Amino acid sequence: METQTGESLTLRGPLEGEAPGLAGVVGRMRLLVGDQPVGVLDVSNGWAKLLPDGGQVDVTGICASAEVLMRLLQGRINPVVMALLAEGRLQGDRERGTKIIYGLRAGSPFNKTTLQGKD
């Protein structure tokens, strides 16, 4: 499974699944590494899905590196620490963005997802 998500970065592996910590949360977060779009994380009441970049979003998550992005998706980043160390920032509906990042910490479907440079 793969989705072409940006000019040079591609997410591969599981691209959707259950995220129990996102129960009751609905929203779309655009994902960037630096200024490169990677895709959109679509969250709907306990289900999280990675989609190609595009469409309206509630919040944009800008990560300093691909490694930070993967930690975010896999629920391995604390959003407060992320902000304090300038590893990433949220633009737009920061409340919803924080809720999504926290929610993934309770269990993420993207533990085996990878981010690779486009062939």
Partner 1 sequence: MSLNTVSILDGNSFVVSDRRGDIDASPIDTQGLFLDDTRFLSKWILTVNGLRPSVLSVDEQEYFQVQFFEAVTTSTIYVDSHLSVARKRAVGKGFHEEILIENHDKQAMDLDVQLDAAADFADLFEVKDQLQKKGELYTKTNNGRLTLGYKRDRFVRETSISANQKGEVDDKGFHFKVHLAPRTSWTVSLDVEASNRASGEVERRTKATVDAWCNNAPRLVCSWDPLHRIYKRSLVDMAALRFRTGITSGALPAAGLPWFMAIFGRDSLITSFQAIPFAPELAASTLRTLALFQARQEDAFRDAEPGKILHEMRLGEMTAFEERPHSPYYGAADSTMLFLIVLEEYVRWTGDTALARELENEARAAVGWIDRYGDRDHDGYVEYERRVKETGLDNQCWKDSWDSIAFADGTIAPLPRATCELQGYVYDAKLRTARLARNIWNDHGWAKQLENEAADLKKRFNRDFWIPERNFFALALDGQKRKVDSLTSNIGHLLWSGICDEDKAESCVKHLMSDALFSGWGVRTMASSEGSYNPIGYHVGTVWPHDNAFVAWGLRRSGYRAEAALISRAMLEAADLFGGRLPEAFGGYPRQDTHYPVEYPTACSPQAWATGTPLLLLRTLLGLESDGEHLIIDPAIPEPLGRIELLDIPGVWGRLDAFGRARAAH
Q: 32 vs 6, 23, 24, 40, 45, CA distance in Å? A: 9, 24, 25, 9, 23
Phi, psi of 26 (to 5 degrees): -130, 135
Could you say which of 2, 7, 34, 85 contacts partner 1 (CB under 8 A)?
85
Could you say which of 26, 62, 64, 66 contacts partner 1 (CB under 8 A)?
64
No. of helices (H) and no. of strands (E), the chain: 3, 9
As a whole number of angstroms, the distance between CA 89 and CA 39 comes to 16
Which residue number, 1 or 81, has a Cβ lying nearer to partner 1?
A: 81
Which residue number, 64 or 66, has a Cβ lying nearer to partner 1?
A: 64
Which residue number, 35 or 86, has a Cβ lying nearer to partner 1?
A: 86
Which residue number, 36 or 98, has a Cβ lying nearer to partner 1?
A: 98
Could you say which of 9, 10, 21, 43 contacts partner 1 (CB under 8 A)?
21
Applying CB under 8 A, does 24 fall inside the site for partner 1?
Answer: yes
Helix, strand, or coil (residue 95): helix
The answer to whether residues 69 and 63 touch, using CB atoms and an 8 Å cutoff, is yes
Interface with partner 1 (CB under 8 A)? 21, 23-24, 64, 78, 80-81, 83-87, 94-95, 98-99, 102-103, 105-106
